[in-house]
Structures are given as C-alpha cells and as structure tokens.
Structure 1
Amino acid sequence: MNIIAEAIGELCKVVLPIPEEYFKGNPKSSVAICTLSSMDLLKKFSNSDILKDISIVGRLLSENKGIDSIVEYVNNYQKINIIVVCGKEVWGHKAGHSLFELHKNGVDKNYRIINSSSPDPYLTVSKLKIKHFQNNVHLVNLINETNYEKILSKIKFP
C-alpha cells in the first residue's frame, strides 16, 4: 500500500504541482500560524497587518514531510512556543490531527506517530527534536475554523 501511495504522491507533484508556501513575519514573535490546507486563509494572513505580530504563517498538507518541517522549524527558531492550527484538514491525510497526536504521544520505535489515523505518519526528525517540540510548543486547536476574524480573536500574544 505504501508503494502505491508514494506513486500517487509523485504523480500529483507532476500533474498538480503545489508550491511550498509560507510567509515570514516578525522574527521576534513567538507565535506561528498553520492554516492546514486552507489556501485562501493563508493568503488572508499573509496580506494582513497580523504578519508584523507573528513569526510565520504556513500550511500543512502532509502527515510526514510537512510535520517534519514544522518540528525542524521550531527547533531552528526556538523562540516559537505557540502554533495556532486552523483551516481545513487535507482530505485523507489528517495532517492536523497527526500534529496533535505527535505533540501528545510522540513516535514509536519506527518513528510512526502514535495514535495517528493518517495513512503514512512516519517522521524522519530525531526524537530529541520531537521532545523539544512536545515540551516547548503549545498547540491551539482551531482545526476546521476558516473564519479569519474568529481565528484572530482566539490568538493570544504573550
């Protein structure tokens, strides 16, 4: 099954190329925003004044490489201690769900996110980096919320 999923993923990269999109804001901020698959929401954040108050806004489309990237980022920019997770889940991948399960449960000996219901929740980042993510980052669960104003009203800046 994994070989089929990888083949489909490679085909999608060619047929439907999706550029990596994130927008950096204030490097002194400790708040990051993840809009999951909601591209319109990502654009709203990237074109608004809130960018001066947040470190980065980006999306999360996969339960493996995407989560690896988030864990790497928070390890490289250790000022980030809050990630607001909002927007719609990617159908079939449940990357947001897997991010919360990683935060709560970590990974098993095969680097599979414990209790993830995603089809391929295997990470490549070190367990040390995962521990830093678990111990130093607070996740705000606004999964499926796409109303920009409602999301802004829930963000608490330290």
Structure 2
Amino acid sequence: MKTIAENWPPLRGDYVTGNPDSRIAVVTLASNLEALPDAAIWGSSKTENLGVEKIIVNVISNSNIRYVLVCGTESRGHLAGHSLLAIHANGIDEKGRIIGSQGAIPFIENISREAIERFQKQVTLLDRIGLNNSEEIRQIVEDYRDRGEVYPEETMVVCAPKKRKASFAVPASGDVIISGELVMDSRAGIICLAEKL
C-alpha cells in the first residue's frame, strides 16, 4: 500500500517537511515557531478557507499522519484554528460553509466532501490553540510521532485549488470624461481609453 503520495506534499504553502513517516503534523496558526524535524509537516495557517483546504489536502496525501497538533496564536478575524477544529468535527453544509465556524469567510470551494470526510477519519486533532511554548510543543511531537498505525487506506490526492479568474469585464466606455482619451465607468470605478467614433 502506498502511504505517501508522489511529490508529497502536493500543495505549496508556508510549511517545511520533516520526517514523512511521522504520525504527527503541526499547524502553528499565526505564530512563527521553529520547526521540529520529527513532525511530518510543520507550518502556519492564517485563513479559514484556503489555509484549511491546504492542510486537508497535504495531510490526506500522507497516510502516515494520524494526528494534527493545532497550536500557536489564532489569526484574528479569520479564526483558522477554530475553523479547522469545526470542519473536523462538523464538516460543511450544502453551500460549502464550515458548520460551526465563526471565521470571517469559512467557505470551502476547492476540495470535495469526500476529501473532508477522509481528513475526519484519518486524523485526530490535538487542540492546543494559544500554545507557543517550544518545549511543550516538542514534547507533544515526541509523544505522538510514533503513536498508532498508518491509516489503512492508500493516500488520497486532491487537485490543487484553482485561482479564480476575475469576474468583471473591462468596460469599453464610461460615463465620466477624464480627458480626450480617458473615460471612467463610475459604477465599476474603472478608467479606460475612450472609444473612438
């Protein structure tokens, strides 16, 4: 059975990899804490949408990871840690909103419900939000790095989140004349070249 996806971790982000055979991953939220090589992956997460999606995708593509330590200082407004705990406990509703999240924009748009369910089954979250003590974090990583068995299913590889394309069209005319060559569409707030007649 393949326990680590080829080119793991599949999504780029603000993290470093350590021992891919380790049973624990560490999310430091908005804190910059020195990474420990005994963790499979170690990084920050400041957003309750793309940040949470990246954590899920990178964790489920390594069946060795069975625990995710959520520590560090919570990101204000976004509540990435709270949202990660909420998606693990409750999943998402039919609109993609993380059930129970109090984050500003807790919508999952780029990964499937199956990927979320796999994350829920594969890992146990260790809620230590607010913990910034390096020695305590090191002890938790040591305690969990070899604990338990590999998740008994092949890795799950999810396509990378796509960047959204701009959803507005550039106007070809405007309703405010700026100069002989420029006009502004006051509704869109966009300046463009005036159409030549």
Q: TM-score, normalised by structure 1?
A: 0.79
Q: Offset of 1:153 from its aligned partner?
A: 2.4
Structure 2 matches for 1:35-54, cutoff 5 A?
A: 35-39=28-32, 41=33, 44-45=34-35, 50-51=36-37, 53-54=38-39
* Partner amino acid, structure 2, of 1:64: N
Structure 1 or 2: larger helix share?
1
> In the TM superposition, what whole-angstrom CA distance separates every residue of 1:55-109 from its partner, at most 9, and x where no partner exists?
1101111000000101111221122111101000111111000000000000000
Query: When the two structures are aligned, how many residues end up with a matched partner?
Result: 132
Aligned residue type for 2:55: I
TM, length-normalised to structure 2: 0.64
Instruction: Find the counterpart in structure 2 of residue 95 from structure 1.
Output: 80
CA distance in 2, matches of 1:20, 1:72: 11
Q: How far apart in 1 are the matches of 2:53 and 2:13?
A: 14
Matched, 1:140 2:133: no
**Structure 1 residue 78 and structure 2 residue 71: aligned?**
no
Higher deviation after alignment, 68-77 or 102-111: 68-77
Q: Partner letter of residue 69 of structure 1?
A: K
Distance across 1 between alignment mates of 2:58 and 2:140: 23
Measured after TM superposition, the shift of residue 28 of structure 1 is: 1.1
The residue that corresponds to 1:10 in the other structure is none
The equivalent position to 1:22 in structure 2, one of 8, 15, 18, is 15
Offset of residue 154 of structure 1: 2.8
In the alignment, is the contact (CA less than 8 A) between 2:60 and 2:122 conserved in 1? no
Partner of 1:14: none
**Structure exhibiting the larger radius of gyration computed from Cα positions:** 2
Percent identical: 37
Which AA in structure 1 matches 2:128?
L
Show structure 1 runs of 4+ deviating over 4 A. Answer: none
The residue aligned with 2:164 is none
The gaps in structure 2 that reach 5 residues or longer are: 1-11, 148-197
